[in-house]
Amino acid sequence: MTEQTSKPWAGRFTEPTDAFVEAFTASVGFDQRLFRHDIAGSKAHAQMLAHVGVLSEAECQQINNGLDQVLAEIESGQFQWSVSLEDVHMNLEARLTALIGDAGKKLHTGRSRNDQVATDIRLYLRDEIDSIQVELKRLQTALIDLAEREHDAIMPGFTHLQVAQPVTFGHHMLAWFEMLVRDAQRLADCRKRVNIMPLGAAALAGTSYPIEREYTAKLLGFDGVSENSLDAVSDRDFAIEFCAAAALLMTHLSRFSEELILWASAQFDFVDIPDSFCTGSSIMPQKKNPDVPELVRGKTGRVNGHLVSLLTLMKGQPLAYNKDNQEDKEPLFDVIDTLRGSLKVYADMMASLLIKRDNMERAALQGFSTATDLADYLVRKGVPFRDAHEVVGKAVRLGVETSRDLAEMDLAELQKFSDVISEDVFEVLTLQGSVSARNHIGGTAPAQVKAAAARARSRLM
């Protein structure tokens, strides 16, 4: 970055800014990523000023062309960013003025960097939410595809990470899908509050020029204008809300990650994560590590941390704008980058995940996963549930002692526990019988999973 000394606000100052303070207070190193939205906001503001007669049409045209040139310079890497011009807003305005002269100096009429920056972040975040939703939908689609394909693959379902009851793999995928549906809804809901225009609030109290805020809002695609100027320039709740939605989404991805890491281990061996998503070890030749899910699990920590940063940033601030708010950007940007990256890699990884159906089914045969089915069978034959529970518990104990599953005992043995048991018991003791019996909306039966996957596809936003 080159040094440039003329600060737009230098009029009342007699001494130059201390060199370290200049660097310490500057945000251009990180807020320059707002340049596109800053330019779009400036163009709309200039057009509105011309519309109400504060700028001439010719001045507006000059500003437009000048901003196009600034944009081209930035995009081609020729733009000289200057730390002494503090932030993206003053850098762009200074360059515009250098290019077009007096008309450039008129652009800031009726606005302040306070409403400008709030507008920029909202425009930027709105676009980012839209592109995050695209990645999220890709991941959801990959889960639905897996659920459809594996609607009848049987795996052990766990509670307390102990084998509980058999479930279908497709059902398990759709559980993840449901979490992501709520995440998409949260983001869409947050977007409504992001898409409100602060411009016109100026520094804090509004402006004495005859501005038409609705006009600018329409040009920028905002759904409405902020009702209160003090609120508009000061609160960052929309960014906090986004980070909260992101933290929940990352928390969901982190849970998926934990499962994938377990499933890819030699002990579970339920799935194979393709080589392209794994790395090896520099010392242990046999290793293939599930780095992608591990990193996503790890990155969840920093997203959660950024949420707390922003909450803490906000909590002590009196109305209206305070420079503290400049600290909103790095956490917010990092949340956006981390979330979008995590979703992208997850969508790709899930689309190429290999499922080891035989291993999952074998694992489901361990741990007496059909014990509940035997209890339900006894209940159907008139045994009260609590008694049935006790009977099956005893049968399980025999199984543990003799290292056999319930289905491996013969009829006479089972009948010692209850005389209502007959030959038809062996149907309910199979994995297929167990999952197929859970045949209602939200249940794990293959037919239900297939139908749920079809509904899921039509529910995609």
Which window, 100-108, 175-183, 318-326, 442-450, contacts ligand ARG (CB under 6 A)? 318-326
Name which of residues 26 to 55 contact ligand ARG (CB under 6 A): 27, 31
Which window, 112-120, 134-142, 154-162, 387-395, contacts ligand ARG (CB under 6 A)? 112-120
**What string of DSSP letters covers 230-245?**
HHHHH--HHHHHHHHH
Question: Distance (Å, rounded) from C-alpha 226 to C-alpha 363?
Answer: 57
User: 107, 117, 261, 364: which one contacts ligand ARG (CB under 6 A)?
Assistant: 117
Question: Distance (Å, rounded) from C-alpha 149 to C-alpha 100?
Answer: 61
Q: Which is nearer to ligand ARG, 142 or 243 (CB)?
A: 243
Which window, 64-72, 75-83, 113-121, 374-382, contacts ligand ARG (CB under 6 A)? 113-121
Question: Distance (Å, rounded) from C-alpha 311 to C-alpha 243?
Answer: 10
User: 42, 114, 254, 418: which one contacts ligand ARG (CB under 6 A)?
Assistant: 114
Q: Which is nearer to ligand ARG, 25 or 61 (CB)?
A: 25
State the minimum distance, in angstroms, from the CB of residue 198 to ligand ARG. 12
Spatial CB neighbours of 207, under 8 Å, sequence gap ≥ 6: 110, 111, 200
What count of other Cβ atoms lies within 10 Å of the Cβ of residue 415?
14
In the set 160, 208, 282, 440, the catalytic residue is 160
User: 49, 54, 81, 87: which one contacts ligand ARG (CB under 6 A)?
Assistant: 87
Name which of residues 179 to 208 contact ligand ARG (CB under 6 A): none
State the minimum distance, in angstroms, from the CB of residue 224 to ligand ARG. 23
Question: Distance (Å, rounded) from C-alpha 120 to C-alpha 34?
Answer: 7
For residue 84, what is the DSSP state?
G
The token pair at 290 is: 């599930």
- 297 binding ligand ARG? (CB under 6 A): no
Q: Omega into 201 within 30° of 0, i.e. cis? A: no
**What string of DSSP letters covers 376-410?**
HHHHHTT--HHHHHHHHHHHHHHHHHHT--GGGS-
- Phi, psi of 457, rounded to the nearest 5 degrees: -60, -40
The token pair at 430 is: 């199979």
State the minimum distance, in angstroms, from the CB of residue 89 to ligand ARG. 6
- 232 binding ligand ARG? (CB under 6 A): no
State the minimum distance, in angstroms, from the CB of residue 35 to ligand ARG. 13
- 113 binding ligand ARG? (CB under 6 A): yes
State the minimum distance, in angstroms, from the CB of residue 87 to ligand ARG. 4
The token pair at 74 is: 């930035």
Q: Which is nearer to ligand ARG, 115 or 150 (CB)?
A: 115
Question: Distance (Å, rounded) from C-alpha 237 to C-alpha 311?
Answer: 8
Q: Which is nearer to ligand ARG, 108 or 113 (CB)?
A: 113
Q: Which is nearer to ligand ARG, 325 or 342 (CB)?
A: 325
**What string of DSSP letters covers 395-448?**
HHHHHHHHT--GGGS-HHHHHTT-TT--TTHHHHTSHHHHHHH--STTS--HHH
Q: Which is nearer to ligand ARG, 34 or 452 (CB)?
A: 34
In the set 56, 265, 281, 352, the catalytic residue is 281
Spatial CB neighbours of 139, under 8 Å, sequence gap ≥ 6: 180, 343, 346, 347, 350
> Residue 89 catalytic?
no
Q: Which is nearer to ligand ARG, 257 or 326 (CB)?
A: 326
For residues 399 and 406, the answer to whether their CB atoms sit within 8 Å is yes
End-to-end CA distance of the chain: 43
The pattern of x and - marking residues 407 through 446 that bind ligand ARG according to CB under 6 A reads ----------------------------------------
User: 325, 418, 434, 448: which one contacts ligand ARG (CB under 6 A)?
Assistant: 325
Task: Please list, residue by residue across 419-441, b when 16 or more beta carbons sit within 10 angstroms of its beta carbon and e when fewer do.
Answer: eebeeebbebbbbebbbbbbeee
> Residue 37 catalytic?
no
State the minimum distance, in angstroms, from the CB of residue 117 to ligand ARG. 4
- Beta bridge mates, 159: 162
State the minimum distance, in angstroms, from the CB of residue 34 to ligand ARG. 9
What count of other Cβ atoms lies within 10 Å of the Cβ of residue 69?
14
**Binders of ligand ARG: how many residues, by CB under 6 A?**
9
Q: Which is nearer to ligand ARG, 31 or 373 (CB)?
A: 31
Q: Which is nearer to ligand ARG, 115 or 135 (CB)?
A: 115
Residues that bind ligand ARG (CB under 6 A): 27, 31, 87, 113-114, 117, 323, 325-326
Active site residues: 160, 281
